[in-house]
A and B are shown apart, each in its own frame.
Chain A
Amino acid sequence: MKIGMNYLVQVCKKSWILAESEVRKLLHDPTELVTRAIQPILWLGIFGEALSKVRAIPTGDYTYMQFITPGILTQSVVFIAIFYGLNIIWERDMGLLQKLLVTPTPRLSLVWGKMGSAGVRGLCQAVIVFLFALVLGVPLILTVQSVFWVVIIVMLGAGFFTGLSMIIASVVKTRERFMGIGQVITLPLFFASSAIYPITIMPTWLQVVANLNPLSYMVDGLRSLLVTGSLTHLPIDLAILASVTLLISITSAYMYPKVVA
């Protein structure tokens, strides 16, 4: 496949068009944002507060609430993204997907359009988590620089898990099976990461898994930006997230048109 400059411009233009129309849908009916806000609020307000009191988890110089906030943000972004595959199956069942696939739109744009849309929903979650953290009095580093990189990490992380879920959708093909798999993989992804406890307290085998889990790099990046302010890991986190997201974009662009077959 020849990848010229023109092709890349086309891909970006069409991705933008598709992501924009997804955001329009959200603007027409924003109730979804309200219902999605409930889960992170419960995790922070109940789980976080409870475990803070127990002081069972060693989190170094930071409070448990500081530790867990980037983890909960990551979790809510990933939960949104991982169910995008369901959206693809639904669009296939409706006929929307077939119609889009018959237009001269590059396949990669259809993937990036969905990724962009998941990213925007993820950013709405970030706003909610930040506001609620402020309400609870959790100190976070919110500067122009940190917010800028948080936006990048949320978009990349949402992108990766959207791509992954589109690949799963193209393999399982039906809503029922997708729901099953979605449920089965989201919690392990969350638990086998540094989202709610440090990797160092895990058994060795789980540490290996956690280090292979892209979710851990998302948490690590967000935590260094929002809590510790020590940015030595940030370039590595960004590089890993960017590469896995690119890789999964290409795989997904190749795989998911098969969902209509």
Chain B
Amino acid sequence: MNDENLITVRNLKKHFGDVKAVDGISFEVKQGSVFAFLGPNGAGKSTTIKMLITLLAPTSGEATIDGLDVVRNSAEVRRRIGYVPQLISVDGTLTAYENLVLMARLYDIPARERVDRVKEILSFLELEDQGQSLVRTFSGGMIRRLEIGQAMIHRPKALFLDEPTSGLDPVARQNVWEHILELRRMYGTTIFFSTHQMEEADEMSDAVAIMNTGKIAIIGTPQEIKAKTGKQEASLEDAFIFFTGANLKEGGNFRDARRSRLMEKRLG
């Protein structure tokens, strides 16, 4: 079963007026794998993720998760996926426990299971003692862990993480990844994440896709991609530069910049 594709994308396009944000991409993600989605700002990563998680309708093409079309069967797809946005998606004015219970209720987890499930997640996240504290008192790493717990409460088949470790220090980063990989081991969850950290993508993922100007520039295992640069001892960072154009273009707009700085301030 490990060879089955959980996510299939066929000639997916999203145009905003004349701008071809995503311009006909196709790829598969194997069930239970860790898949890194890379690319400079403005390459179309976020737009692609939004389409996969049913937040944005494609202009054309199709994407399926667990055999279900993300447009036609969006309600069913939503029950099978979890999503951790780049910014802070837990509510600082609620306790950790309340945040988890809210998600459990929105996913229709029956009342008798709910308390056990929430406690189990809190202990898995090593947050048992902070369950009754307001989340705004948490550190960045604790917040991220709680968010991952929240997105896993209904045991989804695929977990989408948008830059899960940006703004975190190396220790918190390591800890967050340990939890993500442990969840995959326990439930066979497919992990789909975007990042700007090349070492992270290299170390954690089974497969990597690099997007550039709306298209998939290259896809494969980290080893394959590095080998294709033709250089000895190339790092994934070298490959990234090789496949997205020699210069690391300055991307992103004012809003992106403001968001990422705000986030670093909040997490830091």
* Chain B, residue nearest A173 (CB): B255
| Cross-chain contact of A102 among B53, B88, B91 (Cβ < 8 A) | B53
A55 on interface, CB distance cutoff 8 Å: no
Contact A93 B93 (CB under 8 A): no
- Alpha-carbon separation in the docked complex, A13 to B174 (Å): 39
B15 to chain A, nearest CB (A): 13
- Enumerate chain A residues within 8 angstroms of B50, measured Cβ to Cβ: 260-261
Contact B79 A17 (CB under 8 A): no
A257 on interface, CB distance cutoff 8 Å: yes
- Alpha-carbon separation in the docked complex, A185 to B85 (Å): 33
- Indicate the size class of the contact surface on chain A: 20 to 34
Contact A95 B79 (CB under 8 A): no
- Enumerate chain B residues within 8 angstroms of A24, measured Cβ to Cβ: 94, 98
A169 to chain B, nearest CB (A): 15
Interface hits, B57-81 → A, CB 8 Å: 75, 78-79, 81
Contact A101 B103 (CB under 8 A): no
Contact B98 A21 (CB under 8 A): yes
Contact B106 A94 (CB under 8 A): no
Main secondary structure on B side of the interface with A: mixed
- Enumerate chain A residues within 8 angstroms of B84, measured Cβ to Cβ: 99
B259 on interface, CB distance cutoff 8 Å: yes
B257 on interface, CB distance cutoff 8 Å: no
Against B, the Cβ 8 Å flags (1 = close, 0 = not) of A94-132 are 111011111111000000000000000000000000000
- Enumerate chain B residues within 8 angstroms of A99, measured Cβ to Cβ: 83-85, 89, 150-151
Interface hits, B84-105 → A, CB 8 Å: 84-91, 93-95, 98, 102-103, 105
Contact A100 B83 (CB under 8 A): no
B54 on interface, CB distance cutoff 8 Å: yes
- Enumerate chain B residues within 8 angstroms of A61, measured Cβ to Cβ: none
Contact B134 A98 (CB under 8 A): no
B107 on interface, CB distance cutoff 8 Å: yes
Contact A21 B102 (CB under 8 A): yes
Known: A14-B106, A95-B87, A104-B107. Contact between A28 and B78, CB under 8 A?
A: no
- Alpha-carbon separation in the docked complex, A257 to B53 (Å): 13
B248 on interface, CB distance cutoff 8 Å: no
B166 to chain A, nearest CB (A): 12
- Enumerate chain A residues within 8 angstroms of B94, measured Cβ to Cβ: 21, 24-25, 28
- Alpha-carbon separation in the docked complex, A7 to B73 (Å): 16
- Alpha-carbon separation in the docked complex, A92 to B183 (Å): 27
A255 to chain B, nearest CB (A): 15
Known: A24-B98, A28-B94. Contact between A95 and B85, CB under 8 A?
A: yes
- Enumerate chain B residues within 8 angstroms of A29, measured Cβ to Cβ: 93
Contact B83 A98 (CB under 8 A): yes
B55 on interface, CB distance cutoff 8 Å: yes
* Chain B, residue nearest A257 (CB): B55
B56 on interface, CB distance cutoff 8 Å: yes
Against B, the Cβ 8 Å flags (1 = close, 0 = not) of A229-261 are 000000000000000000000000000010011
- Enumerate chain A residues within 8 angstroms of B107, measured Cβ to Cβ: 103-104
* Chain A, residue nearest B134 (CB): A28
* Chain B, residue nearest A28 (CB): B93
A112 to chain B, nearest CB (A): 14
**Top-9 shortest CB links A-B:** A95-B85, A95-B87, A95-B89, A99-B89, A25-B93, A102-B83, A104-B78, A103-B106, A17-B105
Q: Which residues of B approach A to under 8 Å, CB–CB?
A: 50, 53-56, 75, 78-79, 81-91, 93-95, 98, 102-103, 105-108, 134, 150-151, 259, 262
Given A28-B95, A99-B83, A103-B78, 8 new contacts (CB under 8 A): A18-B102, A21-B94, A95-B85, A96-B89, A96-B91, A102-B55, A102-B78, A104-B108
